[in-house]
Each structure stands twice: as structure tokens, then as C-alpha cells.
Amino acid sequence: MSSPIHYTTCPACDSSDIHCVLASKDFTVSHKMFEIWECARCTMRFTQDVPQQDDIAAYYQSDNYISHSNTSKGLVNRLYHRVRERSLKNKRKLVQSYTNAESMPRLLDVGCGIGAFMDHMRQHGWLVEGVEPSETARNLAVKQYGLYVYPPDKFFDKSFGDFDIITMWHVLEHVHLLNEYMYRLKELLRPQGTLFIAVPNYTSYDATKYGAHWAAYDVPRHLYHFSPDSMRLLVEKHGLKLKAVKPMWFDSFYVSMLSEKYKSGKDSVLKGGIMGSISNINTLFNKEQCSSLIYVVSK
């Protein structure tokens, strides 16, 4: 195993004005502690001393990691499955509202997991392709939906076509090559196309309330922790335009339920549900304080 990555400058803006703000635990696999640092210039946070790209797969090897295993184990994950269909519908409606394609639109889902969103869009007439690093998830996509999903090398293949829509649902925080991915996303997007980037928001009410127990820190799998300001700067750095910021209402509940579990050591749907509700109510006055945000981006 290679030495972990120790950042001396911000991985987003390359500023050397960085400092440690807290330490959080990997509650899913290793139970190790990891420091989270913040850049004073762009306000992005990042997990310090993360495993190298070739070594991090071990930290995804858990039946509790729902995007790769599709598990229904545990009360929180069962509730997740119950709201997933509605969430997929909401995503589709949002994507369709920004679609300008004259013929059958072409969509790329980066980090597609087991392919649930791809399958949903395919059922509604879209041409879909997906990229996913987890072999387990790719195999489940074939088994469950009959979808072939590309391994991550395909993303950088120069012969890979361009797309009307590219989606990254809670993916950008996982990629080691942050700036390389942003550059490639711009290349793959058609001139009138739209990119959707959904990421957790560490400036949210529930993130502030739970601190080191906030489930969306998810160290070391989450390499970066975005604020709205840091995402704006990252988008602009790569010559892209931020068109809109949309809240993800369900995430507040899911993240708060997991955070309560991490904090107390047991499921607490009631407390998590109350905190998720409070977080969403707080968002009514400022949508950019939602637990997770969707950034709608164009060329």
C-alpha cells in the first residue's frame, strides 16, 4: 500500500493557506480517524492523508455502502429504498427542465453505482451510458437492470462521445483527480448541454449541528467537502457557468438519521427525522443551507 496523500496546498485552488478544522471517524469500514482541513481562500474542505486512488477500494468494501451493494440492511437503508423512486422521479423532472435536445437526448451518469438512475431515464426514452469504478456495482447493474456500465478508464477515452446531459449524483467528492474530472466534463458536454453535480454541503444546518459525526463527511471515501462558495469558484475556474443551485430535500433526513446512529451507536429514526425537518425548515430561508445541493452547470 502506498503512502497516503498529504496535501500541502488546496486540491481545488492550490492555495497554501490551509488548516485543520476537525477530525472525523470512518464509521463504515475501518473506524480510523481522519483530519478534515479547510482552505481559507476558496473555503473547500478536504480529507487529509487519504489513501491513494489504487488503495481506496478497500474502504468501499462494506455491505452497508448502499450505492454499491443496494443493501436493505438496517432501518435507515430500508427507508432509503422507500423514497428512492420518488427521488429518481424528481431528478428526472429537474433534468428534463434543462434539456434542449431536438432528438432523443443522450445522458451520461458518472459514478452511476448499480444503475438505478440510468434505468429510470431509459424507461422514459433517454439514451443512457454510465461509468462506475466499482466492479461489484457494475455487475449488479447487469444483473438487476440489464445495463452495461463502463469502468472509469472509459471516461477519459478520447473516442467517448459527447452528451446533452451529464449527471454526477454524489460523485465529485469521491474522485481523486478533481480538476482533471472538471476539465473532462467540460469536454464531454455538448455546447447547449447541462451538467448536474450533487454534493453534500458542509455549511448546512445539520452539518453544523452534528460536527464530526455528520454522516456526509464519510471519510475517507469523501475526499472533498464543498461549500456553495467553493463550488462556484471551482466551476468558474474551469470556464463553466453556474446556472442554478437546487436543494435535495430527502438528503437532510437520510444524513441526519445516519448521523444520529454514528453519534449514539444505534438507529434513531425519530431524532434523525426531527433534525432533518429542522434542517429543511432552515433551508426555506436560505436554500444554500440544505444538507445536499445540486449545482446546475453549463458551458
Using only the alpha carbons of the chain, give its radius of gyration: 18
Tell me if 253 is assigned to some domain.
yes
174 in any annotated domain: yes
Whole domain around residue 261: which residue ranges?
63-208+244-298
* Residue 31 DSSP SS3: coil
H and E: helices and strands count for the chain: 9, 10
Residue 116 lies in a domain: yes
Q: How many angstroms separate the CA atoms of 131 and 147, rounded?
A: 11
Q: What was the pLDDT predicted at 267?
A: 81
Q: Is residue 2 a part of any domain in this protein?
A: no
Highest mean pLDDT among 76-90, 186-200, 271-285: 186-200
- Please give the Cα distance from 210 to 224 (Å, whole number): 18
| CATH code for the domain of 285 | 3.40.50.150
Residue 157 maps to a domain: yes
35: closest CA among 6, 3, 15, 65?
A: 6
Q: How far is CA 217 from the centre of its chain?
A: 11
pLDDT in tens, 83-93: 778 899 999 99
Segment 135-172, tens digit of pLDDT: 999 999 999 999 999 999 999 999 998 999 999 999 99
Cell of 232: 462556484
Which pLDDT value is given to residue 50? Answer: 98
Number of domains in the chain: 1
**Nearest one of 128, 218, 224, 222 to 167, comparing CA atoms:** 128
Q: Is the pLDDT of residue 288 over 70?
A: yes
Q: Give a yes or no: residue 11 inside a domain.
A: no
Residue 104 pLDDT > 90, yes or no?
no
| Percent of the chain residues topping a pLDDT of 70 | 93
Using CA atoms, how far apart are residues 233 and 108, in angstroms rounded to an integer?
24
Over residues 74-98, the mean pLDDT reads 78
Q: Is residue 58 part of a domain?
A: no
220: preceding bond cis by omega (within 30 degrees): yes
- Residue 130 falls inside a structural domain: yes
Q: CA-CA distance, 43 to 230, in Å (whole number)?
A: 5
